[in-house]
Amino acid sequence: MSGLTDCTLCPRMCHVNRREKRGFCGVGQLAKVALVSLHKWEEPVIAGENGAGTVFFSGCNLRCMFCQNHEISHGATGIEITDERLGEIFYEQQLRGAATLDLVTPTHFIPQIINGIILAQKKGFCLPVVYNSSGYENIASLDLLKEYIDVFLPDLKYYSPDLSREYSKAPDYFSVASAAIKRMVENTGSIVVDEGILKRGVLVRHMVLPGGRKDSMQLLKWLWSEFGDNIMVSLMRQYTPTYKALAHPKLKRKLTTFEYESVVDYALELGFTRCFIQEPQSVGMEFVPRWTGEGVEKFQ
């Protein structure tokens, strides 16, 4: 498959032949999916009334020590499927009544996803396609997606290279992600919302971390200076200590109300109006999906 014999899909630039071995992301030639679901906890413009049609991919090009999805992102959980089955899954999400097709952690499967979208479109697939990623993306790979992705839903995790090195093993995170988000905005253009659903544009997510509110503010300042109110922003308070963060001196505690609300107040001071916030009840491991493999091998 093109792009996988000398893989440079993500900024890790592993150059491995994924037909024979695995690079940093930990996956091979076939798309690997851990769960297909209707997810009602995404932002309202992504989920609508019925939920976003999430497809949770296994593997990841980051190593976030607080990752709530670590079983599939850093572990082996998931089912390998063909491009043909992936296309069927995309179309089946439309049949279920999903508001959007929500591709979660998709970076390392870009060729398979493009093939899957083409196959799904032949069946009548027409949902807005959401690329829900860590933000750690190659510009060249984003350009491959220009004709296939309607909405980019990137994280913007860190401004400080010290934090991104320590927490995600990616000291170049901000320089890479900031350039990627600029290209996402170039490729999608202005925000388009129709009947409450985001049909085109960029929605940037940022999760406020314990002790990280000043870093969060620097990210917001950069976003406002670059894009103003031409993008949507989602400020997430759902941080819950888990995985390796449970043993980390800075990350083993919960986020305080002051930390989160001070970041929200700063966003409002800057002038953001297209900004989603989360209520305290959105915090907890009960919001993490169970990786059952549901919907992956057959239509349910």
Contact at 8 Å (CB) between 208 and 214? no
List pLDDT tens digits, range 121-134.
999 999 999 999 99
For residue 147, count other CB atoms closer than 10 A to its CB.
10
Contact at 8 Å (CB) between 71 and 58? no
Q: How many domains does one find in the chain?
A: 1
Q: Give residue 113's pLDDT.
A: 98
- Average pLDDT, stretch 135-155? 98
Output the six-digit token pair for 258: 């002051």
90 domain residue, yes or no: yes
104 Cβ contact partners less than 8 Å away, ≥ 6 residues apart: 54, 55, 56, 57, 132
Structural domain of residue 172, as residue ranges? 31-287
Q: Give residue 290's pLDDT.
A: 87
CATH code of 69's domain? 3.20.20.70
Does the predicted model carry a pTM greater than 0.85? yes
24 domain residue, yes or no: no
Q: Give residue 282's pLDDT.
A: 67
List pLDDT tens digits, range 40-94.
999 999 999 999 999 999 999 999 999 999 999 998 799 999 999 999 999 999 9
